[in-house]
Amino acid sequence: MSTSTATDAAVKAGPRPAGGIRQSVRDSLVVAKRNLIRMVRIPEVVLFGLIQPVMFVILFTYVFGGSIQVGGSLSSQDYRNFLMAGIFAQTVTFATAGAGAGIADDMHKGLIDRFRSLPMARGAVLTGRTIADLAQTALTLVVLAGVALLLGWRTHENFGKILAGFGLLLLLGYAFSWIGALIGLSVRTPEAATSGGLIWLFPLTFISNAFVDSNKLPTFFRHIAEWNPFSTTVQACRELFGNLPPGFKTPDAWPMQHPVLASVLWSVLILLAFRTLAVRKYRSAS
């Protein structure tokens, strides 16, 4: 092959992404910074993301508190403590819709195609986006925890266990953000990504132990709830926060008996599976 032919072939192939973990991390952080700056410049996105979970806390606390029995207690305080792990978990998983809509918007504007023409690590665009979403989710959790404390939520374990509980929540949220990334790459408009990101989250979060004692669900739904990765994280957080109500009977299913380990396993499995699928879709998306 002549020198000119080789040069032409290299030009047609386009820029090659630089290899190595260091390059991948650097590219991911650059994209994450871009998305964080965008969030700061459009504060209403963050604000609306904060309002919804706060409304859930207030509505469930004052509308259902004292009306739903958990364990052997009808106390509104016991239900408030029981509820908060479910609200926290719902908040981090609902961020999936925002992640999908953001990526779909970038696709719609042609930004993804421009990124793919640059010599950057293949997964950096999606990794940077999900890291930025994780930062927003962490901020939302801090604000939500503050509101919950003002409304009377209390923990009964040491600080290390409480931090571990929030760590599990962020891990679940990060894993689910890759589901949102895959949805955002698979649809044509941000509106479709938002709808596609929410439609499956409602049954996931409500057929669970988030808002009611799963022992009281019909048999079919109880088995789904007990093996639901969302329920597993909720149960783990309740144990780590010390929020299990008096007389509460832990279900016999393995994920409910070992919720911390099961939560980590579920989140890592979801993360690995959907990151692989999303990066593969990113390479072929147009």
pLDDT bin (cut points 50, 70, 90) of residue 264 is very high
pLDDT of 99 reads 82
Mean pLDDT computed over every residue of the chain: 84
Tell me how crowded residue 79 is: count the other CB atoms within 10 A of its CB.
24
pLDDT of 7 reads 39
pLDDT of 89 higher than 60: yes
Looking at the chain, the whole-number percentage of residues with pLDDT higher than 90 is 39
Q: Is-contact 71 246, C-beta < 8 A?
A: yes
CA 196, 199, 203, 204 torsion-angle sign: positive
- Condensed to tens digits (0 to 9), the pLDDT of residues 118-130 reads 777 777 888 888 9
pLDDT of 260 higher than 90: yes
Non-local (6+) Cβ contacts of 244 within 8 A are 71, 82, 238, 250
pLDDT of 11 reads 38
Token duo for residue 116: 């793919």
3-state secondary structure of 73: strand
pLDDT of 144 higher than 70: yes
Q: What one-character DSSP code corresponds to residue 275?
A: H
Domain ranges of the chain: 18-284
Looking at the chain, the whole-number percentage of residues with pLDDT higher than 70 is 89
pLDDT bin (cut points 50, 70, 90) of residue 65 is low
- Condensed to tens digits (0 to 9), the pLDDT of residues 3-13 reads 444 434 443 44
Non-local (6+) Cβ contacts of 160 within 8 A are none
pLDDT of 257 higher than 90: yes
pLDDT bin (cut points 50, 70, 90) of residue 240 is very high
pLDDT of 73 reads 59
Q: Is-contact 134 38, C-beta < 8 A?
A: no
Most confident of 36-45, 63-72, 89-98: 89-98
Cα 150 to Cα 13: distance, rounded to the nearest angstrom: 58
pTM for the whole structure: 0.85
